[in-house]
Chains A and B, each alone.
Chain A
């Protein structure tokens, strides 16, 4: 049986930061992809807007990457 004598708050903070930080961009990219597919399904001509959808993916992705970068400074 293992009993924790000390709790590493840094590790906990890193885990929480990664978990919380990636939930938002995950939902966001899912919404963008889902709406893009829906638009293509309704109107196949909209398939040419993939480039514009990728720009929004990059904008959303930045916040996840910021959370990932922050774990190195705590």
Chain B
């Protein structure tokens, strides 16, 4: 009797994005399709917010966006020792934070998932629940970080010098420096995997608990959905703060050396 209550098939879990239609010969997956919709929303919404910002603060959602801006600006200003350099890097990281935040929160809407189907697969899948998307974001961010840190430290040789504690001709320092470089290269993977796994596993947890609840699904999945709202914002914050810190370590190190030699 009790087994009749539960469906014979388990909860539906998707790890990878599925192709939903072809644009010419290019396959379009459901996660990039939803990503485009969210990007259009982000652009339109932020242009609307930018027109509404005044000296006398407006009420409503605009205040929330202003709060997010100031939060990230404070974070960057406290990470960098030099305030002029901090101002230079603010725009990129604010963009990164808002895009990840809004993409993550759009995961939780009921229309993202099984609601609409195309070619047998869900039509909308969260953009950040796709390893290709998070890997692209992490690769672009780390590329920007490497480019800026090479520029800030003044040349490629000086940038490589950050990895060595002492002279690179000492064999012990050489091995430690090479180990540091290898851990530096794994940052792209750790950044992308962290975001991807958190979003995907959040989806799976909500899916599993709404399956266990059956007709009580709204009640059984509610606490996990509320936790997800918090975790999604936390993951956007962590992605931003880690990439800011990777840049700030090199930039602060470079400006320290200038002070010592002067």
List A residues at the B interface (Cβ < 8 Å): 51, 54-55, 58, 61-62, 65-66, 68-69, 72
**How many residue pairs between the two chains, A and B, have CB atoms under 8 Å in the bound complex?**
33
Which of A55, A58, A62, A72 neighbours the largest number of chain B CB atoms within 10 Å of its CB? A58
Bound complex: CA A72 to CA B238 (Å) = 26
Determine which of B13, B198, B234, B238 lies in contact with A65 in the assembled complex, contact meaning CB atoms within 8 Å. Answer: B198
Stretch at the interface among B111-119, B144-152, B189-197: B189-197
Chain A nearest CB: distance from B224 CB in Å?
A: 15
CB-CB nearest 8 A-B residue pairs: A65-B197, A58-B238, A62-B194, A69-B197, A72-B15, A55-B238, A68-B201, A65-B201
Q: Kindly list chain A residues whose C-beta atoms are within 8 Å of the C-beta of B193.
A: 62, 65-66
Bound complex: CA A61 to CA B234 (Å) = 12
18 additional contacts (CB under 8 A) given A61-B194, A61-B198 = A51-B237, A51-B241, A54-B234, A54-B237, A55-B238, A55-B241, A55-B242, A58-B235, A62-B194, A65-B193, A66-B193, A68-B201, A69-B15, A69-B197, A69-B200, A69-B201, A72-B13, A72-B15
Q: Contact check, A65 vs B194: say whether CB atoms are below 8 A apart.
A: yes
Using an 8 Å CB-CB cutoff, how does the interface string of B219-255 with A read, 1 for contact, 0 for none? 0000000000000001101100110000000000000
Q: Kindly list chain A residues whose C-beta atoms are within 8 Å of the C-beta of B194.
A: 58, 61-62, 65
Q: Kindly list chain B residues whose C-beta atoms are within 8 Å of the C-beta of A66.
A: 193, 197
For B, the interface residue count at a CB cutoff of 8 angstroms equals 15
Which applies to chain B's interface (DSSP): helix, strand, loop or mixed?
Answer: helix
In the complex, what residue of chain A is closest to B198 when comparing beta carbons? A65
Using an 8 Å CB-CB cutoff, how does the interface string of B184-212 with A read, 1 for contact, 0 for none? 00000010011001101100000000000
Bound complex: CA A5 to CA B237 (Å) = 51
Q: Kindly list chain B residues whose C-beta atoms are within 8 Å of the C-beta of A72.
A: 13, 15
Determine which of A58, A62, A69 lies in contact with B234 in the assembled complex, contact meaning CB atoms within 8 Å. Answer: A58
Q: Kindly list chain B residues whose C-beta atoms are within 8 Å of the C-beta of A55.
A: 238, 241-242
Chain B nearest CB: distance from A57 CB in Å?
A: 9
Q: Kindly list chain A residues whose C-beta atoms are within 8 Å of the C-beta of B190.
A: 62
In the complex, what residue of chain A is closest to B197 when comparing beta carbons? A65
List 16 A-B residue pairs with CB atoms under 8 Å apart, sorted by A's residue number.
A51-B241, A54-B234, A54-B237, A54-B238, A55-B242, A58-B194, A58-B234, A61-B194, A62-B193, A62-B194, A62-B197, A66-B197, A69-B15, A69-B197, A69-B201, A72-B13
Chain A nearest CB: distance from B96 CB in Å?
A: 16
Bound complex: CA A66 to CA B200 (Å) = 12
Chain B nearest CB: distance from A55 CB in Å?
A: 6
In the complex, what residue of chain B is closest to A65 when comparing beta carbons? B197
Chain A nearest CB: distance from B26 CB in Å?
A: 27
In the complex, what residue of chain B is closest to A68 when comparing beta carbons? B201
Chain B nearest CB: distance from A15 CB in Å?
A: 16
In the complex, what residue of chain A is closest to B15 when comparing beta carbons? A72
In the complex, what residue of chain A is closest to B239 when comparing beta carbons? A58
Bound complex: CA A22 to CA B100 (Å) = 27
Chain A nearest CB: distance from B205 CB in Å?
A: 10
